[in-house]
Amino acid sequence: MYNEKRLTELRKQIVREITTAHGAEEYVMANADALFALDLTMYSTNYTLNSTLYNAISVSYLDKSISLHPDQYKALRLLEKNEGLILSAPTSFGKTYVVFEYIARFKPKTVFLVVPTLALIDEYKRKLIRKYRRFFENYKIFTGINSEIDYNNYEYKLFIVTHDRVLEESSFDSINEIDLLVIDEVYKLDRKSTDDRKLILNFAYYYLVKKSRKHILLAPFISSIDNIDQLEKHPLFFKSDFSPVVNDVIECPIYVDNIDSRFAETNRVLHMLSPDARTLVYFANAADIPKYIASYTNNSFQSNNISESTIAFIDWLSEEIHPKWYVVEAMKKGFLVHCGDLQLGIRNLQLDIFEEDSEPYNTMLCTSTLLEGVNTSTENIIITKPSRGYGYNYSNDFEAFDFFNLVGRSGRLFKTNLGIAYYIKAPTDPSFSFDNAIKSIEFEITSDSKDVRIQKSECDDADYLELLRILHCDKEEYKAVVGYTSFDKIKSLFDTYNYYKNELFLAINNILVNPTTKSRATVIYVLLKIFNLRADSKFNPYLNYRAGIINLILNRSRLSIRKIVDSTLQNIGTYNRATNQIISDVIKTKNAYVEYDFSKYLNIILFFMKQQGVTVDYSNYLIEQIQNSISYIYYKNEPLKRVLKESGIYEKDIDFIFPYVKDCGEDVNKIRSLLKNNYEQYKSQVSFLTRYSINRM
């Protein structure tokens, strides 16, 4: 008998042979018994009696033309028979397919699909609404939770939400029971992670699983859960190494570790590949992408074959964002771009172009957003640097797990069965072993860390109790305000607030005394110094520059990115910043920072001020001029408008679109139907991106 590792190698060998054989069908027919014995039933089809019988038994409800492979079928049965299941399997296993198959077969009435990013919400939503529509047409589909909606009125309801959305919605308390809970990318729950969001992810799991009759957690490359016996509910752990596709790694050595050498080798590999092959190019740092674009062009790109729709998209980007934006330049040179800084609608549109056979674009430049589970049908991936970068800093926590998670993004069953990862490797770069990618994880929620004990109201540490005493609040008041922010961060925030508070009050007072000569940006600048968590009396030109950008973002007329960029360029003074960097700074600040961290920290500062008895004139200014502007710009108190925004509707069109869907109850299917039925009435009044996003629904 072969062990599992040997079976995996045999499967890889035979899939390579199928893919490279001149007569693939003849090869499969001749080797059908071996294929079936290796569980490669999707290749053996009905060429043997055993294959015919097995495929008849395991035929999919979702798609009668395919059958579940044996490990998928086993996972389905384990989920059926157990209250909880942790499924660890490679990217190409089809874990999400098992989940959708279970829902199609057993029709659980209340389903929660919890994912780490908005991009995955969109991917799940499209599969349910478009690909598997007839199986989910009885479900009301929601991408948020609203206290004004009585979900008990709907027999079948399905929620697709991010972890943080669960915790920010107190109305979640109105949902009494969940029939099926699914948490994707569960490795992010690992308490060993350095990501600050781990506490949010763990408590989302903690609260959701309490209400769930059945739950399944999905992840790649997990060998075990170290503290599984300490969980309130004990899920069964099922690990499979089965993959119906092969992902090979080819090292491409460079001898000097610098960006020029990496880019030159990347360009060489791209030119070596077939011009028809789809290729992802992974960059460790979003700031590296415009540098690459400035030096290189996709030589296989045939610009005369671009569709009219894509030309209109490029024109819209030039007008609404900026003609000098690197994404515009990239598309003119034959590249698409996918990174977290981009607005969701723009990312979605480029993914669609990448997947469209009639478009000439075959190369997408991307960052670590690719690690979040976004699926494409790419044949190749080029890894330019084994790292993750934020701003101009590189992370050194890139592990074999991350490397092979990237590698697994190449290859897709029935589309490209053999995926190749080209690793640009400098002498100082590590050699990654797949054995090291398999790791055990431990849930934060079972630990006795201070932050977990605070959330459970069980913490009596002296520094925590002292802060409560200074703030004149109890444990529940503290939690209600700070949410799931770590205690160490709150303590640092309190210290820098006390250091800068007189400067903050003076900036506010100057505006209250003479509002025509002082700008809101002066107050935002001091807030940024507080949020920077460093006590330094020196003038900070970078924070001053960001304050100007945030001030423009909070303009209630909803300035376009281009207007914000042009205004910043006119008023930047002596601070040296290239146009493309300003565009990236504006987009990143608008699409991520202001809505989340800036808004969260501002609420905490207002709490500090209230507890210290600061004059209400100062807090009222922050509420009326900054906090309320954030709520207005980001629809914080208008959940339906947030749903539209997260569906790719361009923000300037949302108020115009809203009357057509205001009575939909936030059901995604009903939103889609209303937008479709009224399309002719509004299509000439909205932007290109909104029209595309609606048609995409």
Which residue, 580, 610, 633, sits at the end of a domain? 633
Share of the chain above pLDDT 70, in %: 93
Same domain, 72 and 49: no
pLDDT exceeds 80 at position 8: no
Element (H, E) at 122: helix 118-126
Residue 162 located in a structural domain: yes
Record the tokens describing residue 333, joined without a space: 């040179």
Answer whether residue 460 is part of any domain: no
Query: CB of 247 within 8 A of CB of 407?
Result: yes
CATH of the domain at 119: 3.40.50.300
Over the stretch 368-385, which tens digit does the pLDDT of each residue have? Answer: 876 665 677 788 999 999
Domain boundary among 239, 260, 285: 239
Q: Does residue 196 register a pLDDT over 50? A: yes
Tell me the C-alpha distance between 228 and 516, whole Å: 61
Whether residue 446 is contained in a domain is answered as no
Has residue 663 been placed in a domain? yes
CA distance 11 to 8: 5
pLDDT 10s digits, 51-105: 888 888 888 899 888 888 889 999 999 999 999 999 998 888 889 999 999 999 9
Domain boundary, last residue among 180, 208, 239: 239
Q: Same domain for 268 and 298?
A: yes
Residue 452, domain member (yes or no)? no
- Asked whether residue 585 falls in the same domain as residue 685, the answer is no
Domain presence at residue 62: no
Residues 646 and 540 in one domain: no
The sign one gets for the Cα dihedral 444, 450, 455, 456 is positive
Claim to verify: residue 572 and residue 625 sit in the same structural domain:
yes
Question: Judging by beta carbons within 10 Å of its beta carbon (0-12, 13-18, 19+), is residue 54 exposed, middle or buried?
Answer: buried
Comparing 190-204, 353-367, 562-576, the range with the smallest average pLDDT is 190-204
What is the token pair recorded at 619? Answer: 């807090």
Whether residues 73 and 122 fall in one domain:
yes
Mean pLDDT of the chain: 86
In the prediction, which pLDDT does 64 show? 86
Range(s) of the domain holding residue 35: 1-57
**Residue 451 counted as domain residue:** no
Count Cβ atoms within 10 A of the Cβ of residue 696 and give its class: 0-12 exposed, 13-18 middle, 19 or more buried.
Answer: middle
- SS3 of residue 293 by DSSP: helix
- Quick one: 628 and 643 in the same domain? no
Residues 617 and 646 in one domain: no
The structure tokens listed for 634 are: 């980001």
Residues 393 and 337 in one domain: yes
pLDDT above 50 (res 647): yes
User: Residue 251 is which amino acid?
Assistant: E
* Mean per-residue pLDDT, 142-169: 82
pLDDT given for residue 448 in this prediction: 74
Query: How many alpha carbons fall within 13 Å on the CB side of residue 152?
Result: 8
Burial class for 333, CB neighbours closer than 10 Å (0-12, 13-18, 19+): middle
* Whole-number pLDDT of residue 392: 41
Pairing assessment for the beta strands 388-390 and 393-395 based on DSSP bridges:
antiparallel
Strands (E), 328-375: 336-338, 363-366
| Residues 392 and 514 occupy one common structural domain | no
8 Å CB contact between 589 and 346: no
Same domain, 563 and 667: no
CB 371 within 8 A of CB 269: no
Helix%, strand%, coil% for the chain, nearest 5: 55, 10, 35
Amino acid identity for residue 189 in this structure? L
> Domain tally for the chain?
5
Whether residue 466 is contained in a domain is answered as no
User: Is residue 44 classed as helix, strand or coil in its secondary structure?
Assistant: helix
β-pairing, 418-425 with 246-253?
A: parallel
Tell whether 623 and 655 lie within a shared domain. Answer: no
Segment 273-283 shows an average pLDDT of 90
